[in-house]
Amino acid sequence: MSQAKVPAWVNIALIPVLNILLAFLVSGLVILAIGENPIEAAGYLIYGAFGYDEGIGYTLYYATNLIFTGLAVSVAFKGGLFNIGGEGQAYIGGLGVGLICLSLDHTMPFYVIAPLAVIGAAVFGAAWGYIPAYLQARRGSHIVITTIMFNFIASSLMVYLIVNWLKEDGRMAPNSRTFEENAWLPYLHEIFSPLGIEIGDSPLNLAFVWALLCCVFVWGLIWHTRWGYQLRTLGTNPTAARYAGIDTAKVTIWAMLISGGLAGFVGLNEIMGVNHNLLLNFTAGYGFAGIAVSLMGRNHPIGIILAAVLFGALYQGGAELAFEIPTITPEIVVVIQGLVILFSGALEHMFKDRIEGFFIRRAVA
Amino acid sequence: MPYAIELRDISKRFGAVQANKDICLQVPAGTVHGIIGENGAGKSTLMSIIYGFYEADTGHIEVDGKQVDIRSSQDAINAGIGMVHQHFMLVENFSVLENVILGAEGGALLKNGIDTARIELQRLAHEYSLDIDVDAIVEDLPVGLQQRVEILKALYRGARILILDEPTGVLTPQEADHLFRILKALKDQGVTVLLITHKLREIMASTDNVSVMRQGEMVAHRETAQTSKEELAELMVGKKVRLTVDKDEAQPSEVLLSAQNLSQFDSQGVKRLKNVSLELRAGEILGIAGVSGNGQSELLNVLSGIVPMDEGEIHFAGQVMTAKAPKDAAQMRDLKMAHVPEDRHKMGLVTGFEAYEAAVLGYHNSPAYNGKILMDRKTMLDECNERMAAWDVRPPNPHLKTANFSGGNQQKIVIAREVEQNPDVLLIGQPTRGVDIGAIENIHEQIVKLRDAGKAILLVSVELDEIMALSDRIIVMFDGAVVGELDAKDADERTLGLMMANAYNEEQGEEQEGVSA
């Protein structure tokens, strides 16, 4: 077995960076084709995402949602499950947050509401992941199909609940009343200003910190606990899992519970952190983008943070770009995002063999 | 007259494994030619080369005296070669007719193709007495008829050379007999048949000539009428280098594990394990001999709790396991049963794990490896380092991915893991498959040491040498059932080889008949 070694940094850094550069190169050609200057466009995009306080705040606010859904996808994926249902689980998780806030904001202080809202998000999101998990583990229904279906069910359920039960009386808009301020997650700029640090106003709130804590939690859970060991065994070699006496159905169900719970935390950021009421369609595709984030981040929390920030930057910088250069419409920005997903997700292995081959030959020579 | 098919110096290598080496074969037209050999002898690789699934590294194939270049199964079909696979390649919810025309539909619209096929099929069915309802849905047909569809499919495509790969593996004896009658009808119509099998009885019953393969080489060609089961069995098994293991007489004491009438059905409802009973005593090594695929894997899986039994009982550690009250693999481990599985890649290891992680697989719940919340990485690493030193695992690096160790070192990781738990009963499957000679000796010594420490060992191996060198008592399995048991002292290769081919009793019977006549 004379396997020449490919340096670790090649896989971790070089290949992803090459993929992203190629995506930007093709994006540049698209922008050139519509008669704009790609260098100038890239400047606006980068400045919009990272150039000033508010921009960074927005980038990280978007990244918060993507970290939650990215982690959700990765936990399921480590167990060999493809959870496409992050969108629905996030949506229902938001319902949990909203119900806690609506029922307690008149009577309870923030420090009671906040932990309950965290639990509400996790329990509701997990419950929405449980049903497909149960159907897969005990009844053999394919989890990809059921989780997709549950996204639609979640969507219809939320319309029904908000329009018929939770809508503010006497208003046409399909959303609940605004929560009292003691049920709002504080913005980071509010937290920092008493400390004498002034950062620009943005929707970035405490949920971002919770997202980072979740990364630590997932890292410990997967690589340092017994349960994580069983999960990884099941995900890489189900036959070995049965040999080792691992209860595969139980691990499958728990993986989806944790996955759903993590996705549910999107509700903390959106409902409790930014919108302060329960509304329709706040998940805005983060559940699906989480699949790309997890894929690009190699299902590792650190990779997921980096990928989430990249995607957050594309959301924020892209919005800025569309504003500065009107011929680059929001649709073109979606094209750029799509190219990044295409090159770093779907075409991930396009260069892999050739680059690894190059390093193996060099190592041998 | 040129041969229907002739192979010249075919060689094929997969990585380090020489699957076929300088194979030459000549098959006269209109004959049934048997190819026999143990599992892993290279028969299936050779047939895959003829049928275009693999390309040979060297050598060439001639059909009717003309060299043909077979790069795909389409080339093979064009050359008049048809194949009936061991596992049928049929679309189960299509009708017989639809299956037969699959890939030869004859145009964009199905109707023309179906109409021609219907007439042609009736002709073929009549000619070769292969009666079948062409409109029946395949999944409704019994296995024997499904096989007939495969044969018809090949004939419909104009096959003049038909390869059958282990055709009777899925058939009942009656269906098998019917198949042999069909083969005879095919032969009478001038079709050449290549029959791949490891069953001596079938070779004797249905072939004109037979070639024997062993370890990738063609070791002998015989006219069936001029040979005997004994000769073929000996040729199949071969005279290998004798392994010797220094060991004293076994001192078997109390029964630690007993199994009664164990049976198990696979997902298709085929009975893979048939009423197997055995007793395993402390201080002995019980060897299970048999050509692979005759129920040994199922026996290991059922005994170790990986697959639930369907019938029978296991008595172990004061407990009784039945189909209604089974115990899973984790529970069996808790009762101090260790299991080195036959296939370390598929079952014994998670090749993506680092060595120290793979070294606790199955014991990951043990308090020794766990703190309150997190796993105790330091203990796991320390222990892995110790074991790697004790078992001479190379390289001794607990952080190396399991996949990057050589086969022998992977096996040492697995055996060390199971043996160091100090089990009462050790089930061990193919302990030295793909392991180099030095490591084999080491592994054998450890197994004997464990026996001498009063443990009970069940050894499954397809290597007769290994079985004979290590075992104190030998059980032979064939077709899911125990067909013989003998003391290791009384075992020789010929006897075991005949038992493994389930020809021993017939042989004895024939001899007796001869005496009385």
Residues 6+ apart with CB under 8 A from B310: B263, B264, B265, B323
* pLDDT at A231 (0 to 100): 97
Could you tell me if residue B434 is left (phi over 0), alpha (psi between -120 and 50 degrees) or otherwise beta?
left
Q: Is the domain of B188 the same as that of B262?
A: no
**Residue B26: strand pairing partners:** B6
Q: Is the domain of B212 the same as that of B352?
A: no
Instruction: Tally the residues of chain A.
Output: 365
How near does any CA of chain A get to the CA of B321, in Å?
16
Closest CB from B329, B346, B369 relative to A245? B329
Residues 6+ apart with CB under 8 A from A207: A64, A185, A265, A268, A269, A272, A273
- The answer to whether the CB of B4 falls within 8 A of the CB of B161 is yes
Q: Distance between CA B356 and CA B401 in Å, rounded?
A: 9
Chain A hits for B406, CB-CB cut-off 8 Å, are: 1
* pLDDT at B73 (0 to 100): 87
Q: Which amino acid is at B326?
A: P
Cα A12 to the center of its chain, rounded Å: 20
Helix (H, G, I), strand (E, B) or coil at B38: coil
pLDDT tens across the length of chain A (365 residues): 334 467 778 777 788 888 888 988 999 999 999 999 999 999 999 999 999 999 999 999 999 999 999 999 999 999 999 999 999 999 999 999 999 999 999 999 999 999 999 999 999 999 999 999 999 999 989 999 999 999 999 999 999 999 998 988 888 888 999 999 999 999 999 999 888 888 888 999 999 999 999 999 999 999 999 999 999 999 999 999 999 999 999 999 999 999 999 999 999 999 999 999 999 999 989 999 999 899 888 899 999 999 999 999 999 999 999 999 989 888 888 898 888 888 877 777 777 778 877 877 776 65
- Going B54 to B58 to B62 to B67, the CA torsion angle's sign is positive
Chain A hits for B350, CB-CB cut-off 8 Å, are: 232-233, 236-237, 240
Tokens standing for residue A61: 């606010």
Compute the CA torsion angle B245, B247, B253, B254 (nearest 10 deg): -30
Q: Distance between CA A102 and CA B379 in Å, rounded?
A: 49
Q: Is the domain of B222 the same as that of B317?
A: no
Mutate to test the interface with A, among B333, B363, B364 (most CBs of A within 10 A): B364
Q: Is the domain of B485 the same as that of B345?
A: yes
Q: Is the domain of B437 the same as that of B326?
A: yes
Of chain A, the end-to-end C-alpha distance in Å amounts to 17
- The answer to whether the CB of B26 falls within 8 A of the CB of B78 is no
The pTM of this model reads 0.77
Chain A hits for B306, CB-CB cut-off 8 Å, are: 242-243
Chain B hits for A233, CB-CB cut-off 8 Å, are: 350, 353, 361
A242/B329 touch (CB, cutoff 8 Å), yes or no: yes
* Tokens 């009844």 found at: A139
User: Residue B477 domain-assigned?
Assistant: yes
User: Residue B40 domain-assigned?
Assistant: yes
Instruction: Tally the residues of chain B.
Output: 517
**Residue B220: strand pairing partners:** B212
Q: Distance between CA B93 and CA B139 in Å, rounded?
A: 6
Please give the average per-residue pLDDT across B407-430, as a whole number: 91
Residue of A nearest to B304 (CA): A243
Chain A hits for B361, CB-CB cut-off 8 Å, are: 233, 240, 243-244
Could you tell me if residue B78 is left (phi over 0), alpha (psi between -120 and 50 degrees) or otherwise beta?
alpha
Task: Give Rg (Cα) of chain A.
Answer: 22
CA angle in degrees (0–180, nearest 5) for B139-B169-B132? 40
Provide ipTM, 2 decimals.
Answer: 0.82
Please give the average per-residue pLDDT across B416-445, as a whole number: 86
* pLDDT at B505 (0 to 100): 66
Q: Is the domain of B316 the same as that of B404?
A: yes
Task: Give Rg (Cα) of chain B.
Answer: 26
Domain spans of chain A? 65-304
Chain A hits for B330, CB-CB cut-off 8 Å, are: 244-247
User: Which structural domain range is residue B104 located in?
Assistant: 5-237
How near does any CA of chain A get to the CA of B378, in Å?
11
pLDDT digits (tens, 9 = 90+) for B39-51: 667 888 898 899 9
| Cβ atoms within 10 Å of A197's Cβ, excluding its own | 10
Q: Distance between CA B344 and CA B428 in Å, rounded?
A: 11
What is the average pLDDT score of chain B? Answer: 87
Q: Distance between CA B183 and CA B196 in Å, rounded?
A: 13
Closest CB from A232, A239, A243 relative to B362? A243
User: Residue B99 domain-assigned?
Assistant: yes
Q: Greatest CA span in chain A, whole angstroms?
A: 78
* pLDDT at B106 (0 to 100): 74
Q: Which amino acid is at B431?
A: P
pLDDT digits (tens, 9 = 90+) for B229-275: 878 878 887 755 456 677 888 888 899 999 999 999 987 788 889 99
Q: Is the domain of B216 the same as that of B282?
A: no
A232/B333 touch (CB, cutoff 8 Å), yes or no: no
Chain B hits for A6, CB-CB cut-off 8 Å, are: none
How many beta-carbon pairs below 8 A join chains A and B?
Answer: 71
* pLDDT at A188 (0 to 100): 92
Element (H, E) at B70: none
In Å, what is the CA distance from B382 to each residue of A227, A294, B338, B378, B379?
21, 33, 22, 6, 5
How near does any CA of chain A get to the CA of B410, in Å?
12
How near does any CA of chain A get to the CA of B258, in Å?
21
Where residue B184 sits, what CATH number does that domain have? 3.40.50.300
Of chain B, the end-to-end C-alpha distance in Å amounts to 43
Inter-axis angle of helices A301-324 and A330-341, to 10 degrees? 150
A236/B328 touch (CB, cutoff 8 Å), yes or no: no
Chain B hits for A230, CB-CB cut-off 8 Å, are: 364
Chain B hits for A232, CB-CB cut-off 8 Å, are: 350, 352-353
Nearest to B275 by CA among B306, B307, B313, B308: B313
Q: Distance between CA B466 and CA A199 in Å, rounded?
A: 75
Q: Is the pLDDT of residue B38 over 60?
A: yes
Can you give the three-state secondary structure of B345-373, one letter per residue? HHHHCCCCCEHHHHCCCCCCCCHHHECCC
User: Residue B494 domain-assigned?
Assistant: yes
B330/A245 touch (CB, cutoff 8 Å), yes or no: yes
Residue of B nearest to A226 (CA): B375
Q: Which amino acid is at B315?
A: H
* pLDDT at B437 (0 to 100): 64
Q: Which amino acid is at A20?
A: I
Residue of B nearest to A235 (CA): B350
User: Residue B243 domain-assigned?
Assistant: no
Chain A hits for B305, CB-CB cut-off 8 Å, are: 245
In Å, what is the CA distance from A60 to each residue of A205, A268, A295, A303, B71?
9, 15, 19, 15, 56
Q: Is the domain of B276 the same as that of B316?
A: yes
Residue of A nearest to B371 (CA): A225
Q: Confidence class of residue B61 from pLDDT cuts 50, 70 and 90?
A: very high
Q: Is the domain of B397 the same as that of B461?
A: yes
Residue of B nearest to A229 (CA): B364
The least confident of A73-82, B300-309, B508-517 is B508-517
How near does any CA of chain B get to the CA of A60, in Å?
31
B333/A245 touch (CB, cutoff 8 Å), yes or no: yes
Nearest to B323 by CA among B337, B312, B307, B335: B312
Would you list the DSSP string of B390-459? HTT-SS--TTSBGGGS-HHHHHHHHHHHHHTT--SEEEEESTTTT--HHHHHHHHHHHHHHHHTT-EEEE
pLDDT digits (tens, 9 = 90+) for B144-156: 888 889 999 988 8
- The answer to whether the CB of B5 falls within 8 A of the CB of B63 is yes
Nearest to A75 by CA among A264, A313, A207: A264
Phi and psi, residue A349, nearest 5°: -95, 10
* pLDDT at A365 (0 to 100): 59
Q: Is the domain of B296 the same as that of B405?
A: yes
Please give the average per-residue pLDDT across B285-311, as a whole number: 91
pLDDT digits (tens, 9 = 90+) for B186-243: 998 899 999 998 777 888 888 999 999 888 889 999 999 998 887 887 888 775 545 6
Can you give the three-state secondary structure of B459-483, one letter per residue? EECCCHHHHHHHCCEEEEEECCEEE
Q: Distance between CA B142 and CA B129 in Å, rounded?
A: 17
| High-pLDDT (> 90) share of chain B, % | 43
B375/A237 touch (CB, cutoff 8 Å), yes or no: no
B353/A236 touch (CB, cutoff 8 Å), yes or no: yes
B425-429 and B337-340 beta bridge pairing: parallel
Chain B hits for A238, CB-CB cut-off 8 Å, are: none
- Going B400 to B401 to B406 to B410, the CA torsion angle's sign is positive
B348/A243 touch (CB, cutoff 8 Å), yes or no: yes
Residues 6+ apart with CB under 8 A from A342: A23
Residue of A nearest to B301 (CA): A243
Q: Distance between CA B89 and CA B91 in Å, rounded?
A: 7
Phi and psi, residue B101, nearest 5°: -85, -5
Q: Is the domain of B371 the same as that of B448?
A: yes
Q: Is A42 exposed, middle or buried (0-12, 13-18, 19+ CB in 10 A)?
A: middle
Q: Confidence class of residue B517 from pLDDT cuts 50, 70 and 90?
A: very low
User: Residue B442 domain-assigned?
Assistant: yes
Q: Is the pLDDT of residue B436 over 80?
A: no
How near does any CA of chain B get to the CA of A197, in Å?
38
Nearest to A263 by CA among A137, A169, A125, A159: A125
Our count of domains for chain B comes to 2
Q: Is the domain of B269 the same as that of B386?
A: yes
How near does any CA of chain B get to the CA of A147, in Å?
27
Q: Distance between CA A197 and CA B70 in Å, rounded?
A: 76
